[in-house]
Amino acid sequence: MNQKIIERAAEIIASKTGYIGGGMEGYAALALIDENGYPTASTLTIAKADGIKWLTFNTSLNRDSVRRIQKCNRAGVCINSSEYNITLVGTVEILTDADTKKEMWFPVMKGQWSSPDDPKYCVLRFTTERYSLFIDYEEAKGALV
54 pLDDT more than 80? yes
Average pLDDT over residues 115-137: 95
Average pLDDT over residues 73-80: 96
Query: What pTM did the predictor assign?
Result: 0.92
Torsion angles phi and psi, residue 112, rounded to 5: -95, -40
CATH of the domain at 22: 2.30.110.10
- Cα–Cα distance for residue pair 110/123, rounded to 1 Å: 15
145 pLDDT more than 90? no
**Per-residue model confidence (pLDDT) at position 106:** 82
Task: Tell me which H or E stretch contains 53.
Answer: none
- Cα–Cα distance for residue pair 68/33, rounded to 1 Å: 6
**Per-residue model confidence (pLDDT) at position 25:** 59
If one counts the domains in the chain, the total is 1
Structural domain for 113, as ranges: 2-143
Average pLDDT over residues 17-46: 82
The whole-chain average pLDDT of the chain stands at 90
